[in-house]
Structure 1
Amino acid sequence: MARVYSGLKFLLYPDRLAAIREGRACAPVHVRIKPTNRCNHNCWYCAYRADNLQLGEGMDEADQIPPEKLFEIARDLVDMGVKAVTFSGGGEPLLYKSLPEVVEYLSANGIQVGALTNGSNLKGKMADAFARHGTWIRVSLDAHDDASYAESRSVGMGKFSQLLRNIRQFADRRSNCVLGASFIITESNAPHIYSVCRMLKDAGVSHVKLSAVVVGNEDLGNSVYHTSIRSLAALQIERAKELNDDQFHIVDHYHELAERFQKSYESCPFSRLLTVIGADGGVYTCQDKAYTEGGKLGSVLNQDFKSLWYSEETCGRMQAISPARDCQHHCVAHAKNLALLDMMSLDPAHIPFV
C-alpha cells in the first residue's frame, strides 16, 4: 500500500523551497485550523489541558472561530495557493457545526482536507462531508475497552463501543477518504497495543499510528516516564507489525519522542511551510506552540489571514525564531528542520553533484 506518512513531503514543493532559500515570502503549503476549543472528552494527558505542559497555557475553552471568519480564512487559503488544511484541536473539531460546509468549499476549490478527531461525532452529516470531500481522517484513542476509555477520557461507559461503531460505519462507506487511527501509548495501555491494533484493523482502518504520550515539557521527564514500559511497548509493537498487509499498516513513531526536544539551530524554516490558526483567532508558528504567547504571530480577528501572513511584522517574527533559545520542548518539525537547514547550507556551485 502507498505510504501516507513521510518527513520528506516538503521536497515536492520546489517553489516554496526556493523562496525559503532566497529569503522570499511564500504561502504555507499546509495550514492546521483549530475551529473550536470545546471538547466532549477530558483526556488526562491532553496537551492543551494538562497543567504540566506549556502548550495551551493561554487557551480559553470557550473560544471558537466565528463561522463567517472561518469562511473568510478558507477563501484566503484558496487565493494564496495553500495545498492542504487539517482540522484539529484545541477542542474536538467535528463538534464545529459549520465544518461540513467549510470542508466542501475547500475541496471544491482544490485544497485537500484532513482531520484529527476523537471520532465521537464521526457520523451523520459530518461523516458524509469527510467521506465525500476529505483526503484523510485520523481517530485518536488510548484505551482497549469501555472501562479504560471512560477512565482515561472522563466519559461515560459505552463510549468506546460507540467509537468502534462509528469507525466501522465510516469504513463501510469505502470512500476515498483514508481512515486511520492514532494510538497514544501510556503506562496503562502498553500491554494492549497489539490487541487494540488488531481490533482497529478488524474495524476497517487502513493504518494505526503509534505515538508516545508526552507528559512534560522536557526530555528527561518523558524519558523517565517511558523507561518502565519501553521494552514492553517494543515487544507489543513488533507483534502488531505482524498485522501488516496490503490493506493495513502499523506506523511506528513511538521511538521518535526522545529525538524531538534538544535543538542547537538558530532558525525554523519549516514555519514557512506549515502554520496554525487557533480557535482564538491567533496565528501560531506551529502546533507545539499553539496558544502560547511565544508562538503567536498575530490574530485574524482584526485582519484577514492573507494580510497577516505577508506582513513585514509576521515575516520578521518568523525570522527571529531561534529553536535553540525558544524551543527546548517537543517539536514535530525537528527532523524536517534539520533537513531544510542542511539544504539551505549547500554551496550552489556543488548542488549538481547529487
Structure 2
Amino acid sequence: MSTLYSTLKFLRFNEHLHAIENGEIVAPVHIRVKPINHCNHKCWYCAYRTDDLILGDEMDEKDTIPADKMLALAHEFVDMGVKAVTFSGGGEPLLYKPLPDVIEVLATGGIRIAALTNGSNLKGRVADVFAQHGTWVRISLDAWDDASYVKSRGAKKTDFSKLIKNICAFTSRDTKCVLGVSFIVGHENHQHLAEVCSLLKDCGVDHVKVSGAIVSNDAAGNNEYHSEIKEEVARQITTAQMLSDSSFTILNHYHDLEDRFEKNYHACHFLQYLTIIGADQYVYTCQDKAFTESGRMGSIAERTFKDFWFSEDNKQFLKSFDPSVMCKHHCVSHSKNLAINDYISLDKEHSYFV
C-alpha cells in the first residue's frame, strides 16, 4: 500500500524550493478552502467552537463565500496552476450548496479534490461528485455509538447510525476516492478506540488516523491532559493495529502531540505550498491560524486571489511573518518548515557531498 500521509510530500515540487531560495512567489501547490462557517455539529474539541483555544477566535458563524465568488476562485485556481484543493471548516463544508458545481470546475481543470468533513452530508449529489472526482475524504469522529455521538457534539440521537450508513454507502461505490476517518482521542472515548476501528473496517474505510485532541494553547497543558490516558491509548492502538491488512490501515499520529509549539525559525516557507481561504474571504497563513488576526494575510472580497497572492503586500507579509514570535501554538507545518529551513541553509559547495 502506498503512503498517503508524509511530511515529505513538498519535496516533489522543486520550483517552490527554488522560489523560496530566490525570494520569489509562486502559486500555492495546495489551497484549503473553508467555504462556510455554519456547522450542524458542535464538537467539544473543535478549535472553532471552543472558548479554551485562541485558534479561530474571530470566526463569524454567519460567514459564507458567495457562490459567484467561489466559482470565480475555482477558475482562478485552475488558471494559476494550483494542484489540489481541500474543503474544510470553519463549518461543515459539505453543507455548502454550491460545492458540487465548484468541484466540477476544479476537476475539469485537473485539480485534485479532497474534504475534511463530519460526513453527515456525504450523500446524494455531494457523494456523487466526491466519488467521481475526489482523491480523498476524511471524516472526523470521536464517538462509538449514538449516545456518545450526541454527548460529544450535540448531534441528533440517531446521527451516528446515519453516519455509519453514509460511510457504508460511499465505500460500496465504484470509486477511487480514499475514504478515511480521523479519530480524535480524549478522556471520554479512549477506551473505545479499538472498538471503533473494528466497526470502521467492517464499513470499508481505507484507514483510521488516530490523533490526540488539542485542548490547550501550550504544550504543557496539552501533554498534561493526555498523560492520564496515554498508556491505555497505546494499548488500544496496538489492538487496533492487529486489524491492519492490504485494504485497511491504522495510522498512529497520537505521538505527534509533543514539541510542536515553540519555533526557532523566523520565516514560514511552507506558506508557498499551502494557504487557507476562509468563509470571510480572507486569506490566512494556515489552518492553525484561520480566523485569527495574527494569521490574516489579506482580504480577497474586492479583488481576485491571484491579484492578492502576487501583490507587493503579500510579498512583504511573507518576508515579515515570524513564526518564532507569531506561532507559539500547535502547528501542522512545523516539521516541514524545519526541513525547508535546513535545505535552504545548505552550503552550495558542500551540498554535493551527499
TM superposition score category, shorter chain reference: over 0.9
> In the alignment, which residue of structure 2 is the partner of 1:111?
111
Distance (Å, rounded) in 2 between the aligned partners of 1:248 and 1:176? 15
1:286-297 equivalence runs, <5 A? 286-297=286-297
> In the alignment, which residue of structure 2 is the partner of 1:331?
331
Cα deviation code 1:138-176 (max 9, x no counterpart): 111000110001000111111111100000000000301
Distance (Å, rounded) in 1 between the aligned partners of 2:346 and 2:2? 31
> In the alignment, which residue of structure 1 is the partner of 2:251?
251
Deviation at 1:64, TM superposition (A): 0.3
SS at match of 1:276: strand
Cα deviation code 1:116-138 (max 9, x no counterpart): 00000000000001000111101
> In the alignment, which residue of structure 1 is the partner of 2:341?
341
The residue identity in structure 2 corresponding to 1:111 is I
SS at match of 1:260: coil
Deviation at 1:3, TM superposition (A): 1.3
> In the alignment, which residue of structure 2 is the partner of 1:126?
126
SS at match of 1:15: helix
The answer to whether the 8 Å contact 1:278/1:284 transfers is yes
Cα deviation code 1:79-107 (max 9, x no counterpart): 11110000000000000011011111101
* Structure 1 residue ranges, 4+ long, deviating more than 6 angstroms after superposition: none
> In the alignment, which residue of structure 2 is the partner of 1:162?
162
TM-score by length of 1: 0.99
The answer to whether the 8 Å contact 1:35/1:278 transfers is yes
Distance (Å, rounded) in 1 between the aligned partners of 2:176 and 2:352? 39
Distance (Å, rounded) in 1 between the aligned partners of 2:149 and 2:115? 21
The residue identity in structure 1 corresponding to 2:265 is Y
> In the alignment, which residue of structure 2 is the partner of 1:237?
237
Distance (Å, rounded) in 1 between the aligned partners of 2:22 and 2:175? 41
Deviation at 1:62, TM superposition (A): 0.4
The residue identity in structure 2 corresponding to 1:146 is D
SS at match of 1:348: coil
RMSD of aligned alpha carbons:
0.7
Distance (Å, rounded) in 2 between the aligned partners of 1:259 and 1:194? 27
The answer to whether the 8 Å contact 1:127/1:170 transfers is yes
Quick check: 1:47 aligned with 2:47?
Answer: yes
1:1-354 equivalence runs, <5 A? 1-354=1-354
SS at match of 1:267: coil
Distance (Å, rounded) in 1 between the aligned partners of 2:259 and 2:27? 28
TM-score by length of 2: 0.99
Distance (Å, rounded) in 2 between the aligned partners of 1:340 and 1:325? 19
Deviation at 1:351, TM superposition (A): 2.1
Distance (Å, rounded) in 1 between the aligned partners of 2:353 and 2:14? 18
The answer to whether the 8 Å contact 1:182/1:209 transfers is yes
The answer to whether the 8 Å contact 1:142/1:189 transfers is yes
Distance (Å, rounded) in 1 between the aligned partners of 2:353 and 2:123? 52
Cα deviation code 1:322-346 (max 9, x no counterpart): 1111101000000000000000100
The residue identity in structure 1 corresponding to 2:12 is L
SS at match of 1:125: helix
Cα deviation code 1:278-321 (max 9, x no counterpart): 00001000000000011111111010000000011111111111
The residue identity in structure 2 corresponding to 1:241 is Q
Distance (Å, rounded) in 1 between the aligned partners of 2:353 and 2:163? 52
Distance (Å, rounded) in 2 between the aligned partners of 1:43 and 1:140? 10
Deviation at 1:11, TM superposition (A): 0.2
The residue identity in structure 1 corresponding to 2:165 is R
The residue identity in structure 1 corresponding to 2:220 is L
The residue identity in structure 2 corresponding to 1:176 is K
The residue identity in structure 2 corresponding to 1:159 is D
SS at match of 2:352: coil
Deviation at 1:259, TM superposition (A): 2.7
Distance (Å, rounded) in 2 between the aligned partners of 1:192 and 1:225? 18
SS at match of 1:297: strand
SS at match of 2:226: helix
Deviation at 1:262, TM superposition (A): 1.6
Deviation at 1:352, TM superposition (A): 2.3
SS at match of 1:89: coil
The residue identity in structure 2 corresponding to 1:304 is T
Deviation at 1:271, TM superposition (A): 1.1
SS at match of 2:349: helix
The answer to whether the 8 Å contact 1:285/1:318 transfers is no
The residue identity in structure 2 corresponding to 1:88 is S
Distance (Å, rounded) in 2 between the aligned partners of 1:283 and 1:224? 33
